[in-house]
A and B are shown apart, each in its own frame.
Chain A
Protein backbone atom coordinates (compact mmCIF):
# COMPACT_ATOMS: atom_id res chain seq x y z
CA UNK A 1 0.00 0.00 0.00
CA UNK A 2 1.14 3.52 -0.77
CA UNK A 3 2.26 4.87 2.67
CA UNK A 4 0.61 8.21 1.94
CA UNK A 5 -2.84 6.66 1.71
CA UNK A 6 -3.53 7.25 5.41
CA UNK A 7 -1.62 10.51 5.88
CA UNK A 8 -3.00 13.40 7.89
CA UNK A 9 -5.46 15.45 5.83
CA UNK A 10 -7.24 17.94 8.06
CA UNK A 11 -7.18 20.73 5.50
CA UNK A 12 -7.28 20.63 1.69
CA UNK A 13 -6.91 24.10 0.24
CA UNK A 14 -8.32 24.79 -3.22
CA UNK A 15 -6.10 26.82 -5.55
CA UNK A 16 -6.70 27.78 -9.17
CA UNK A 17 -3.89 26.08 -11.10
CA UNK A 18 -4.02 28.84 -13.70
CA UNK A 19 -3.05 31.59 -11.20
CA UNK A 20 0.71 31.83 -10.62
CA UNK A 21 0.20 34.23 -7.71
CA UNK A 22 -1.81 31.58 -5.86
CA UNK A 23 0.22 28.46 -6.55
CA UNK A 24 3.73 29.81 -6.00
CA UNK A 25 3.83 29.63 -2.17
CA UNK A 26 0.66 28.24 -0.47
CA UNK A 27 2.87 26.05 1.77
CA UNK A 28 3.59 29.07 3.97
CA UNK A 29 0.09 28.65 5.44
CA UNK A 30 0.78 24.97 6.23
CA UNK A 31 -2.35 23.24 4.92
CA UNK A 32 -2.02 19.44 4.98
CA UNK A 33 -2.93 19.24 1.29
CA UNK A 34 -3.30 21.67 -1.57
CA UNK A 35 -5.87 21.07 -4.28
CA UNK A 36 -4.60 22.43 -7.58
CA UNK A 37 -7.76 22.95 -9.57
CA UNK A 38 -8.06 22.42 -13.32
CA UNK A 39 -11.85 22.18 -13.17
CA UNK A 40 -14.37 24.82 -12.08
CA UNK A 41 -11.87 27.56 -11.18
CA UNK A 42 -10.39 27.54 -14.70
CA UNK A 43 -12.30 29.21 -17.52
CA UNK A 44 -13.10 27.05 -20.53
CA UNK A 45 -10.68 28.98 -22.77
CA UNK A 46 -7.83 28.64 -20.28
CA UNK A 47 -7.89 24.86 -19.74
CA UNK A 48 -4.81 24.40 -21.94
CA UNK A 49 -2.80 27.20 -20.30
CA UNK A 50 -3.64 25.94 -16.79
CA UNK A 51 -1.97 22.60 -17.52
CA UNK A 52 1.37 24.21 -18.42
CA UNK A 53 1.18 26.28 -15.28
CA UNK A 54 0.34 23.20 -13.21
CA UNK A 55 3.08 21.05 -14.75
CA UNK A 56 5.87 23.53 -14.04
CA UNK A 57 4.59 24.34 -10.57
CA UNK A 58 4.60 20.63 -9.69
CA UNK A 59 8.06 20.21 -11.19
CA UNK A 60 9.80 23.22 -9.74
CA UNK A 61 8.09 24.47 -6.58
CA UNK A 62 8.99 22.80 -3.28
CA UNK A 63 5.65 22.56 -1.47
CA UNK A 64 7.45 21.50 1.72
CA UNK A 65 5.50 18.43 2.62
CA UNK A 66 2.02 19.60 1.56
CA UNK A 67 0.28 16.87 -0.39
CA UNK A 68 -0.29 17.98 -4.00
CA UNK A 69 -3.71 16.87 -5.21
CA UNK A 70 -4.94 17.84 -8.69
CA UNK A 71 -8.66 18.21 -9.38
CA UNK A 72 -9.07 17.14 -12.99
CA UNK A 73 -11.95 18.10 -15.25
CA UNK A 74 -15.10 15.99 -15.31
CA UNK A 75 -15.24 12.66 -17.08
CA UNK A 76 -17.94 14.15 -19.31
CA UNK A 77 -15.47 16.79 -20.58
CA UNK A 78 -12.83 16.48 -23.34
CA UNK A 79 -10.05 17.48 -20.91
CA UNK A 80 -9.67 14.89 -18.18
CA UNK A 81 -7.33 12.40 -19.88
CA UNK A 82 -4.76 15.06 -20.76
CA UNK A 83 -5.20 16.50 -17.26
CA UNK A 84 -4.10 13.14 -15.86
CA UNK A 85 -1.09 12.87 -18.22
CA UNK A 86 0.04 16.36 -17.28
CA UNK A 87 -0.48 15.84 -13.52
CA UNK A 88 1.25 12.47 -13.35
CA UNK A 89 4.15 13.68 -15.50
CA UNK A 90 4.49 16.72 -13.26
CA UNK A 91 4.74 14.53 -10.17
CA UNK A 92 1.43 15.08 -8.38
CA UNK A 93 0.64 12.96 -5.33
CA UNK A 94 -3.07 12.42 -6.01
CA UNK A 95 -5.88 12.95 -8.50
CA UNK A 96 -9.33 14.13 -7.42
CA UNK A 97 -12.20 12.90 -9.56
CA UNK A 98 -15.05 15.42 -9.71
CA UNK A 99 -18.70 14.32 -9.84
CA UNK A 100 -17.99 10.65 -9.11
CA UNK A 101 -21.20 8.66 -9.28
CA UNK A 102 -20.24 5.02 -9.76
CA UNK A 103 -17.37 2.60 -9.22
CA UNK A 104 -16.85 2.66 -13.00
CA UNK A 105 -15.88 6.35 -12.77
CA UNK A 106 -13.11 5.45 -10.34
CA UNK A 107 -11.94 2.50 -12.43
CA UNK A 108 -11.86 4.64 -15.57
CA UNK A 109 -9.62 7.21 -13.91
CA UNK A 110 -7.49 4.50 -12.34
CA UNK A 111 -6.80 2.96 -15.75
CA UNK A 112 -5.65 6.31 -17.16
CA UNK A 113 -3.47 6.93 -14.10
CA UNK A 114 -1.81 3.52 -14.56
CA UNK A 115 -1.17 4.34 -18.23
CA UNK A 116 0.33 7.70 -17.27
CA UNK A 117 2.53 6.16 -14.55
CA UNK A 118 3.96 3.80 -17.17
CA UNK A 119 4.35 6.51 -19.81
CA UNK A 120 6.19 8.88 -17.48
CA UNK A 121 8.22 6.32 -15.55
CA UNK A 122 6.57 6.68 -12.17
CA UNK A 123 6.32 3.64 -9.87
CA UNK A 124 2.98 1.83 -10.18
CA UNK A 125 0.70 2.85 -7.34
CA UNK A 126 2.56 6.08 -6.58
CA UNK A 127 -0.39 8.28 -7.59
CA UNK A 128 -3.40 8.07 -5.30
CA UNK A 129 -7.02 8.90 -6.14
CA UNK A 130 -9.86 10.56 -4.28
CA UNK A 131 -13.44 10.99 -5.39
CA UNK A 132 -15.74 13.98 -4.96
CA UNK A 133 -19.37 13.13 -4.39
CA UNK A 134 -21.58 15.85 -5.87
CA UNK A 135 -24.96 14.23 -6.53
CA UNK A 136 -27.70 12.19 -4.91
CA UNK A 137 -26.65 9.18 -7.00
CA UNK A 138 -23.06 9.61 -5.87
CA UNK A 139 -24.14 9.66 -2.22
CA UNK A 140 -26.19 6.50 -2.65
CA UNK A 141 -23.26 4.77 -4.40
CA UNK A 142 -20.68 5.98 -1.91
CA UNK A 143 -19.67 2.54 -0.64
CA UNK A 144 -19.03 1.08 -4.11
CA UNK A 145 -17.05 4.23 -4.98
CA UNK A 146 -14.95 3.85 -1.81
CA UNK A 147 -14.23 0.20 -2.61
CA UNK A 148 -13.54 0.63 -6.34
CA UNK A 149 -9.75 0.95 -6.12
CA UNK A 150 -6.89 0.26 -3.71
CA UNK A 151 -5.52 3.66 -4.68
CA UNK A 152 -8.57 5.52 -3.47
CA UNK A 153 -7.65 7.21 -0.20
CA UNK A 154 -10.92 9.00 0.42
CA UNK A 155 -14.11 10.68 -0.67
CA UNK A 156 -15.20 14.30 -0.32
CA UNK A 157 -18.61 15.87 -0.25
CA UNK A 158 -19.10 18.75 -2.67
CA UNK A 159 -21.99 20.60 -1.10
CA UNK A 160 -22.80 23.17 -3.79
CA UNK A 161 -23.55 20.74 -6.60
CA UNK A 162 -25.06 18.18 -4.23
CA UNK A 163 -27.63 20.62 -2.85
CA UNK A 164 -28.54 21.72 -6.39
CA UNK A 165 -29.15 18.09 -7.27
CA UNK A 166 -31.28 17.76 -4.13
CA UNK A 167 -33.24 20.83 -5.22
CA UNK A 168 -32.29 22.81 -2.15
CA UNK A 169 -29.42 25.18 -1.32
CA UNK A 170 -26.70 25.84 1.23
CA UNK A 171 -28.41 27.42 4.24
CA UNK A 172 -25.50 27.77 6.63
CA UNK A 173 -27.24 25.53 9.16
CA UNK A 174 -26.04 22.25 7.68
CA UNK A 175 -29.55 20.75 7.66
CA UNK A 176 -29.49 20.25 3.90
CA UNK A 177 -26.18 18.34 4.15
CA UNK A 178 -26.96 16.18 7.17
CA UNK A 179 -28.00 12.99 5.38
CA UNK A 180 -25.18 13.07 2.86
CA UNK A 181 -22.56 13.87 5.48
CA UNK A 182 -23.60 10.99 7.70
CA UNK A 183 -23.91 8.57 4.81
CA UNK A 184 -20.49 9.43 3.38
CA UNK A 185 -18.71 9.05 6.71
CA UNK A 186 -20.36 5.67 7.26
CA UNK A 187 -19.46 4.48 3.75
CA UNK A 188 -15.88 5.69 4.09
CA UNK A 189 -15.42 4.02 7.46
CA UNK A 190 -16.96 0.78 6.18
CA UNK A 191 -14.42 0.78 3.35
CA UNK A 192 -11.50 1.93 5.51
CA UNK A 193 -10.87 5.18 3.62
CA UNK A 194 -10.93 8.84 4.64
CA UNK A 195 -13.80 11.29 4.35
CA UNK A 196 -13.66 15.06 3.80
CA UNK A 197 -16.30 17.71 4.18
CA UNK A 198 -17.33 20.37 1.70
CA UNK A 199 -16.09 23.98 1.62
CA UNK A 200 -17.56 26.78 3.73
CA UNK A 201 -17.87 29.73 1.42
CA UNK A 202 -18.85 32.62 3.73
CA UNK A 203 -15.38 33.94 4.55
CA UNK A 204 -16.76 36.74 6.70
CA UNK A 205 -18.55 34.37 9.06
CA UNK A 206 -15.73 32.77 11.00
CA UNK A 207 -18.02 31.85 13.90
CA UNK A 208 -20.28 29.94 11.50
CA UNK A 209 -17.20 28.30 10.03
CA UNK A 210 -16.01 27.20 13.47
CA UNK A 211 -19.41 25.66 14.27
CA UNK A 212 -19.39 23.88 10.91
CA UNK A 213 -15.93 22.39 11.58
CA UNK A 214 -16.90 21.36 15.12
CA UNK A 215 -19.94 19.56 13.70
CA UNK A 216 -18.06 17.64 11.03
CA UNK A 217 -15.29 16.79 13.49
CA UNK A 218 -17.83 15.19 15.81
CA UNK A 219 -19.45 13.39 12.88
CA UNK A 220 -16.17 11.63 12.13
CA UNK A 221 -14.81 13.46 9.08
CA UNK A 222 -11.03 13.39 8.63
CA UNK A 223 -10.86 16.97 7.42
CA UNK A 224 -12.38 19.78 5.41
CA UNK A 225 -11.92 21.37 2.02
CA UNK A 226 -11.05 25.03 2.42
CA UNK A 227 -10.92 28.02 0.12
CA UNK A 228 -8.85 30.54 2.06
CA UNK A 229 -5.73 30.35 4.25
CA UNK A 230 -7.51 32.09 7.09
CA UNK A 231 -9.65 28.96 7.58
CA UNK A 232 -6.65 26.67 8.19
CA UNK A 233 -5.86 27.42 11.82
CA UNK A 234 -9.45 26.95 12.95
CA UNK A 235 -9.60 23.47 11.42
CA UNK A 236 -6.22 22.42 12.78
CA UNK A 237 -7.09 23.72 16.22
CA UNK A 238 -10.36 21.76 16.34
CA UNK A 239 -8.69 18.61 15.01
CA UNK A 240 -5.79 18.75 17.46
CA UNK A 241 -6.47 16.58 20.53
CA UNK A 242 -6.49 18.45 23.84
CA UNK A 243 -3.90 17.61 26.51
CA UNK A 244 -6.73 16.04 28.53
CA UNK A 245 -7.63 13.77 25.57
CA UNK A 246 -3.99 12.85 25.04
CA UNK A 247 -3.33 11.99 28.69
CA UNK A 248 -6.47 9.87 28.84
CA UNK A 249 -5.61 8.11 25.56
CA UNK A 250 -2.10 7.35 26.84
CA UNK A 251 -3.52 5.81 30.01
CA UNK A 252 -6.00 3.74 28.00
CA UNK A 253 -3.33 2.37 25.65
CA UNK A 254 -0.91 1.55 28.47
CA UNK A 255 -3.57 0.04 30.74
CA UNK A 256 -5.03 -2.12 27.97
CA UNK A 257 -1.58 -3.46 27.12
CA UNK A 258 -0.79 -4.15 30.79
CA UNK A 259 -4.17 -5.66 31.68
CA UNK A 260 -4.14 -7.82 28.56
CA UNK A 261 -0.92 -9.44 29.78
CA UNK A 262 -2.62 -10.11 33.13
CA UNK A 263 -5.67 -11.62 31.41
CA UNK A 264 -8.01 -8.79 32.48
CA UNK A 265 -10.50 -7.64 29.82
CA UNK A 266 -12.51 -4.92 31.53
CA UNK A 267 -11.24 -2.30 34.00
CA UNK A 268 -11.57 1.40 34.79
CA UNK A 269 -9.43 4.42 33.89
CA UNK A 270 -10.26 7.69 35.67
CA UNK A 271 -13.59 6.18 36.72
CA UNK A 272 -14.60 5.15 33.19
CA UNK A 273 -15.14 1.58 32.12
CA UNK A 274 -12.58 0.57 29.50
CA UNK A 275 -12.14 -2.54 27.35
CA UNK A 276 -10.35 -3.48 24.12
CA UNK A 277 -12.94 -1.58 22.04
CA UNK A 278 -11.33 1.68 23.23
CA UNK A 279 -7.84 0.73 22.00
CA UNK A 280 -8.06 1.86 18.35
CA UNK A 281 -9.65 5.19 19.25
CA UNK A 282 -6.98 5.90 21.84
CA UNK A 283 -4.21 4.99 19.39
CA UNK A 284 -5.81 7.29 16.83
CA UNK A 285 -5.77 10.17 19.32
CA UNK A 286 -2.07 9.56 20.01
CA UNK A 287 -1.27 9.38 16.29
CA UNK A 288 -3.22 12.59 15.61
CA UNK A 289 -1.41 14.31 18.48
CA UNK A 290 1.92 13.18 17.04
CA UNK A 291 0.97 14.37 13.54
CA UNK A 292 -0.20 17.69 14.98
CA UNK A 293 3.12 18.12 16.77
CA UNK A 294 1.67 18.25 20.29
CA UNK A 295 2.61 14.78 21.61
CA UNK A 296 5.50 14.63 24.03
CA UNK A 297 4.97 11.13 25.43
CA UNK A 298 6.75 7.86 24.74
CA UNK A 299 4.15 5.79 22.92
Chain B
Protein backbone atom coordinates (compact mmCIF):
# COMPACT_ATOMS: atom_id res chain seq x y z
CA UNK B 1 0.00 0.00 0.00
CA UNK B 2 1.15 3.49 -0.77
CA UNK B 3 0.53 6.38 1.63
CA UNK B 4 -1.55 8.94 -0.25
CA UNK B 5 -1.83 11.65 2.38
CA UNK B 6 -0.86 12.27 6.01
CA UNK B 7 -3.27 10.70 8.51
CA UNK B 8 -3.62 10.06 12.22
CA UNK B 9 -5.58 7.61 14.38
CA UNK B 10 -5.94 7.10 18.12
CA UNK B 11 -5.92 9.40 21.11
CA UNK B 12 -3.70 10.42 24.00
CA UNK B 13 -5.99 8.78 26.57
CA UNK B 14 -4.66 6.14 28.93
CA UNK B 15 -4.33 2.66 27.32
CA UNK B 16 -4.40 4.23 23.84
CA UNK B 17 -1.78 5.51 21.41
CA UNK B 18 -1.79 8.11 18.68
CA UNK B 19 -0.32 7.11 15.35
CA UNK B 20 0.67 9.59 12.62
CA UNK B 21 1.67 8.48 9.14
CA UNK B 22 2.90 10.32 6.08
CA UNK B 23 4.68 9.39 2.87
CA UNK B 24 8.25 8.28 3.53
CA UNK B 25 11.43 8.64 1.55
CA UNK B 26 11.80 5.09 0.36
CA UNK B 27 11.89 3.30 3.71
CA UNK B 28 10.12 2.90 7.04
CA UNK B 29 11.03 5.77 9.34
CA UNK B 30 9.79 4.88 12.87
CA UNK B 31 9.70 7.13 15.91
CA UNK B 32 8.21 6.42 19.34
CA UNK B 33 7.39 8.51 22.38
CA UNK B 34 6.37 6.38 25.37
CA UNK B 35 6.74 6.53 29.15
CA UNK B 36 7.53 2.81 29.03
CA UNK B 37 9.97 2.96 26.14
CA UNK B 38 12.72 1.25 28.13
CA UNK B 39 10.49 -1.70 29.05
CA UNK B 40 8.31 -2.02 25.96
CA UNK B 41 9.95 0.04 23.18
CA UNK B 42 11.23 -3.02 21.32
CA UNK B 43 7.89 -4.82 21.57
CA UNK B 44 5.97 -1.77 20.31
CA UNK B 45 8.39 -1.40 17.40
CA UNK B 46 8.02 -5.10 16.56
CA UNK B 47 4.19 -4.88 16.55
CA UNK B 48 4.26 -1.77 14.35
CA UNK B 49 6.69 -3.25 11.83
CA UNK B 50 4.73 -6.52 11.64
CA UNK B 51 1.50 -4.62 11.10
CA UNK B 52 3.05 -2.54 8.32
CA UNK B 53 4.42 -5.72 6.75
CA UNK B 54 0.97 -7.35 6.74
CA UNK B 55 -0.43 -4.23 5.07
CA UNK B 56 2.36 -4.20 2.50
CA UNK B 57 3.59 -0.74 3.54
CA UNK B 58 7.30 -0.26 2.95
CA UNK B 59 7.57 3.49 2.49
CA UNK B 60 6.23 5.51 5.39
CA UNK B 61 7.18 7.94 8.10
CA UNK B 62 5.35 6.72 11.20
CA UNK B 63 5.32 8.45 14.61
CA UNK B 64 3.70 7.00 17.69
CA UNK B 65 2.84 8.54 21.04
CA UNK B 66 2.07 5.65 23.35
CA UNK B 67 -0.01 5.92 26.51
CA UNK B 68 0.22 2.33 27.65
CA UNK B 69 -1.55 0.65 24.70
CA UNK B 70 -1.87 -3.12 24.42
CA UNK B 71 -0.55 -4.78 21.26
CA UNK B 72 -4.10 -5.10 19.88
CA UNK B 73 -4.61 -1.34 20.26
CA UNK B 74 -1.30 -0.53 18.59
CA UNK B 75 -2.24 -2.70 15.61
CA UNK B 76 -5.69 -1.08 15.43
CA UNK B 77 -4.29 2.45 15.45
CA UNK B 78 -1.58 1.73 12.87
CA UNK B 79 -4.15 0.17 10.54
CA UNK B 80 -6.59 3.00 11.23
CA UNK B 81 -4.03 5.62 10.22
CA UNK B 82 -2.87 3.70 7.14
CA UNK B 83 -6.38 3.12 5.80
CA UNK B 84 -7.26 6.75 6.47
CA UNK B 85 -4.23 7.76 4.46
CA UNK B 86 -5.65 5.90 1.44
CA UNK B 87 -9.23 6.91 2.25
CA UNK B 88 -10.58 3.33 2.41
CA UNK B 89 -13.37 2.55 4.88
CA UNK B 90 -15.25 -0.29 3.19
CA UNK B 91 -14.49 -3.79 1.89
CA UNK B 92 -11.53 -3.99 4.23
CA UNK B 93 -9.51 -7.21 4.35
CA UNK B 94 -10.55 -8.33 7.85
CA UNK B 95 -8.63 -11.45 8.78
CA UNK B 96 -6.35 -10.99 5.74
CA UNK B 97 -3.98 -8.02 5.70
CA UNK B 98 -5.78 -6.89 8.85
CA UNK B 99 -4.89 -9.56 11.41
Residues of A within 8 A of B (CB): 19-21, 24, 47-49, 51-53, 55-57, 59-61, 81-82, 85-86, 89-90, 120
Task: Among B14, B77, B90, B91, point to the contact of A52 (Cβ < 8 A).
Answer: B77
Complex Cα gap A44–B22 (Å): 23
Complex Cα gap A140–B94 (Å): 38
B31–chain A nearest beta-carbon distance, Å: 21
Interface of A is mostly: helix
Size bin of chain B's contact surface: 20 to 34
Residues of A with C-beta under 8 A to B14: 21
**Besides A20-B70, A24-B70, A52-B98, 6 new A-B residue pairs in contact (Cβ under 8 A), listed by A number:** A52-B79, A53-B76, A57-B72, A82-B92, A85-B94, A86-B92
Q: List 18 A-B contacts (CB under 8 A).
A: A20-B16, A20-B69, A21-B13, A21-B15, A24-B15, A49-B84, A51-B92, A52-B9, A52-B75, A52-B80, A52-B83, A53-B73, A53-B77, A56-B72, A59-B99, A60-B71, A82-B92, A86-B94
Residues of A with C-beta under 8 A to B26: none
Task: Among A49, A61, A85, point to the contact of B92 (Cβ < 8 A).
Answer: A85
A89 and B94 within 8 A (CB): yes
Q: How many A-B residue pairs have CB under 8 A?
A: 69
B80 and A56 within 8 A (CB): no
Task: Among A47, A56, A85, point to the contact of B73 (Cβ < 8 A).
Answer: A56
> In chain B, residues 46-93, which have Cβ atoms closer than 8 Å to a Cβ of chain A?
69-73, 75-77, 79-80, 83-84, 89-92
B78–chain A nearest beta-carbon distance, Å: 9
> B93's closest neighbor in chain A, by CB?
A89
Task: Among A20, A53, A61, A90, point to the contact of B94 (Cβ < 8 A).
Answer: A90
